[in-house]
Structure 1
């Protein structure tokens, strides 16, 4: 279900009824292979608010997170001290995805935050939960920041 694009279909009583065919890659079209995966990389979700402290981002990094999804306000935004903490996380090799905790809308690159300069990934239409799953899969194979960003545009 996407609040922007509507219901893809309904699965009930052992039957699938499809209303729309999603334009993105999914299921058997995916390049991800988890057949030999026993554990996904750690990816934390940090919920942002107007006066959030940066210590939750730092705690995720210190606990070994390979990725952090910021469930930001509006366009995946957070306050300045948290942007700075997220940028420090990127410099330590942690992938940071800006997502949004609001019900609709998308998080696009370089809108209000300079993702190119800071090394952040924009989640496009994926909410924090879906962003966490996609980032966990993307981290199974070493990818560049631009390749990970392309995955968020593809799925």
Structure 2
């Protein structure tokens, strides 16, 4: 078929592949210990999108709460290998648990060097559940991976008929199907029955044209997150500093403020060479690059949430500890 499109489907596990004890097992399905491999998951679909060929690549299934740097390295390497070994490859879809999907997506958005579209997908309900969102989410992710508009858009996340940018999206609800949101800017597009429709493209720098190269990175520096709250005495910040963390992200009160005790602990951390980034616990909105933050030698996270600010800071620290240079990265990505 001359117009056929080829998509690689990488399976990492997650709710999308889970099989519960019955159709109403919507919470304790992991306890059942049964998970579909990626080939079995693909077979759940009654049909593939017209003109699309999908081949599967299985990785050991893992809870998304356990995914970290070594798994991200493997995904980056695997995507590069797939693109190199399949010159006719149209796109890549990665199944993933939703708990940490936004972090994997953003990390890949900062480090992938592949030029074909990469789409991440998961589900809120296991494949075995009544009204599971797994099959349609997977079907739509495959559709998006074949779109010309997806090429050059960075890593995308597809769930609930919506297309999100990896930089902007976050999980906002424990069980609801509409959990993934891009609070400040909204979706990139929709997956409807008649067509996949894109309406905007990400502007911030993203894969594959980034300065971060995992081929030159053996370990990821440890960066801790402290959370502002009334009565905070800065003990978490001091503990992270004492633990030798080279970087700390503060999930500050909106719009980027903190208690006097936290301020003292942050100033002490900076004096000891720790790079401090101020994010917000609000869930949306920018932390401004204001006088107080600059005067204290700290960096504003822009509108990155704490967990994404942590990843960008960790990658930045693989290249430099210069505050001005890291500040530039937060203004770029």
Same fold (TM over 0.5): yes
Shift of 1:146: 1.2
Change (3 A) 1:143 1:65: closer
Change (3 A) 1:36 1:60: same
Give the structure 2 partner of residue 90 of structure 1: 270
Unaligned runs of 5+ in 2: 1-168, 170-181
Runs in 1 of length 4+ with deviation above 2 angstroms? 8-11, 16-20
**Alpha carbons 2:275, 2:321 under 8 Å: kept:** no
Contact 2:183–2:284 at 8 Å: present in 1 too?
Answer: yes
Alignment correspondent of 1:27: 207
Counterpart of 2:5 in structure 1 is: none
Q: Please tell me the root mean square deviation across aligned C-alpha atoms, in Å.
A: 1.8
2:234 is aligned with 1:58: no
CA contact (8 A) 2:302 2:331 kept: yes
Could you list the per-position Cα deviations for residues 18-41 of structure 1 after superposition, in whole angstroms to 9, with x for gaps in the alignment?
542111001111110112323200
Give the equivalent residue in structure 2 for 1:4.
184
SS in 2 for 1:68: strand
User: Whose RCO is larger (CA < 8 A, sep 6+)?
Assistant: 1
- In the alignment, is residue 120 of structure 1 matched against residue 319 of structure 2? no
Gaps of at least 5 residues in structure 1 are: none
1:110 aligns with 2:304: no
Q: What's the offset of the Cα at 1:73?
A: 1.1
Task: Give distance in 2, aligned partners of 1:89 and 1:67.
Answer: 9
How many residues align? The count is 149
